């Protein structure tokens, strides 16, 4: 998308960003950002059809549920032949804000590059605290495994991606698909037998239970430290969840050597800006994965704020997207697809 195409959305976003920075109590305004996302979708160049993409909206992924949190969208790149590699995308928002509808741009960005995208909402805190979000993400994964081939996706080439809280959730989901856990929903995700072939946690909050670690390492404004603490409080409800808490703190699992893993972890792409207060979690992730011998392409973008890659008119955001898509192309597009294997067309 060109800078001219995105200018109306950019201007509105920057006005709201100034307003948010002046607020001492809030990182984001759910209503304002939801409204901005709706405005952005009205622009002619934001229409998926302008990019050769079809969207199936509001598909229920939890049988019997009428909750709008249990809906997902599927983006399909009709201009390219299938079966398509798949990106399973989980939005951010401090576990308490936003939805698939505020993150339409992420679905469109991956789909116009040739990926089928499953972009889902999930239940939000504080009404639905931990582990509701990761339970829903595991249920969405089950739905994807059952349905994505009929929609044109290739289960032999699946990646997971998400930013901020979504980065936490896709990292926890990756652990669920690689570990036999006791929770029924986590075990069912494992029992699908399908694992991500790549994981992309952008600017992820990877240890929810210890929000004070950021301010202990470097000074930060009281309102920002308070917002990070609030994220932890609303999600975990100031409780110790025992062994279940590993799925709120996937970084801690990786740092202790992930002894429960039953399957090898996929390569990771971890992107973060150097002005992001969550920067240290990506550094720790890179180190932990390195100790496990898991490939991790960690990218640090000078001056980038939290979720800077969403500001797609920005030069560094565009560079981040190029890096992420190049990573996906290396790890998904060159994989032998199930379709080729079934037809006997794969080399070797």
The predicted-structure confidence for 131-142, as pLDDT tens digits, reads as follows: 999 999 999 999
Q: What is the CATH number of domain 56-343?
A: 3.40.50.1820
Read off the pLDDT of residues 153-181 as tens digits, 9 standing for 90 and up.
999 999 999 999 999 999 999 999 999 99
Predicted pLDDT at 331? 96
Give the mean pLDDT of the chain. 87
Q: How far apart are CA 208 and CA 248, in angstroms?
A: 6
Predicted pLDDT at 345? 29
Q: What is the mean pLDDT of residues 98-121?
A: 96
Prediction pTM value: 0.86
Read off the pLDDT of residues 23-46 as tens digits, 9 standing for 90 and up.
333 444 565 555 555 555 546 566
More confident residue, 208 or 36: 208
Q: What is the mean pLDDT of residues 67-92?
A: 95
Predicted pLDDT at 36? 58
Predicted pLDDT at 335? 52
Sorted by where each begins, the domain ranges of the chain are: 56-343
Q: Report whether pLDDT(148) > 50.
A: yes
More confident residue, 344 or 184: 184
Predicted pLDDT at 348? 27
Read off the pLDDT of residues 266-283 as tens digits, 9 standing for 90 and up.
999 999 999 999 999 999
pLDDT level of residue 302 (50, 70, 90 thresholds): very high
Predicted pLDDT at 312? 86
Contact in structure between 204 and 98 (CB atoms under 8 Å): no
Read off the pLDDT of residues 222-253 as tens digits, 9 standing for 90 and up.
888 989 999 999 999 999 999 999 999 999 99
Predicted pLDDT at 24? 33
Read off the pLDDT of residues 177-191 as tens digits, 9 standing for 90 and up.
999 999 999 999 999
Worst-scoring range by mean pLDDT, 18-27, 47-56, 59-68, 273-282? 18-27
pLDDT more than 70, % of the chain: 82
Predicted pLDDT at 82? 86
Predicted pLDDT at 8? 44
At residue 206's C-alpha, the angle toward residues 37 and 290, to 5°, is 120
Buried b / exposed e over 13-48, threshold 16 CB at 10 Å, is beebbeeeeeeeebbbebebbeebbeebeeeeebeb
Q: Which two tokens stand for residue 20?
A: 């948010």
């Amino acid at each position: 998308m060109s800078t001219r195409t995105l200018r109306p959305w950019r201007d509105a976003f920057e006005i709201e960003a100034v307003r948010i920075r002046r607020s001492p109590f809030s990182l984001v305004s759910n209503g304002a950002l939801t409204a901005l996302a709706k405005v952005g979708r009205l622009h002619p160049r934001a229409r998926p059809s302008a990019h050769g993409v079809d969207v199936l909206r509001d598909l229920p992924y939890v049988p019997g549920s009428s909750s709008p949190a249990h809906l997902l969208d599927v983006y399909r790149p009709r201009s390219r032949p299938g079966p398509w590699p798949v990106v399973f995308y989980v939005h951010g928002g401090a576990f308490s804000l936003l939805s698939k509808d505020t993150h339409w741009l992420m679905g469109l960005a991956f789909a116009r590059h040739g990926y089928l995208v499953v972009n889902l909402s999930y239940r939000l805190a504080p009404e639905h605290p931990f582990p509701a979000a990761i339970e829903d993400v595991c249920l969405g994964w089950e739905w994807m495994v059952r349905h994505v081939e009929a929609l044109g996706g290739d289960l032999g080439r699946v990646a997971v991606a998400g930013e901020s809280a979504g980065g936490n959730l896709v990292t926890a989901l990756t652990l669920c698909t690689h570990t036999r856990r006791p929770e029924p929903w986590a075990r069912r995700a494992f029992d699908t037998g399908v694992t991500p072939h790549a994981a992309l946690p952008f600017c992820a909050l990877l240890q929810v239970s210890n929000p004070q670690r950021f301010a202990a390492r470097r000074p930060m404004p009281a309102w920002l430290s308070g917002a990070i603490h609030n994220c932890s409080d609303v999600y975990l409800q100031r409780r110790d969840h025992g062994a279940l808490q590993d799925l709120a703190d996937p970084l801690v699992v990786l740092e202790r050597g992930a002894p429960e893993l039953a399957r090898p972890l996929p390569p990771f792409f971890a992107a973060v800006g150097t002005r992001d207060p969550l920067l240290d979690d990506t550094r720790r992730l890179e180190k932990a994965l390195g100790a496990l011998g898991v490939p991790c392409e960690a990218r640090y973008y000078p001056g980038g704020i939290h979720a800077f890659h969403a500001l797609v008119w920005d030069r560094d955001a565009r560079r981040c997207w190029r890096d992420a898509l190049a990573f996906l192309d290396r790890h998904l597009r060159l994989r032998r697809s199930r379709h080729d294997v079934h037809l006997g067309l794969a080399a070797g």
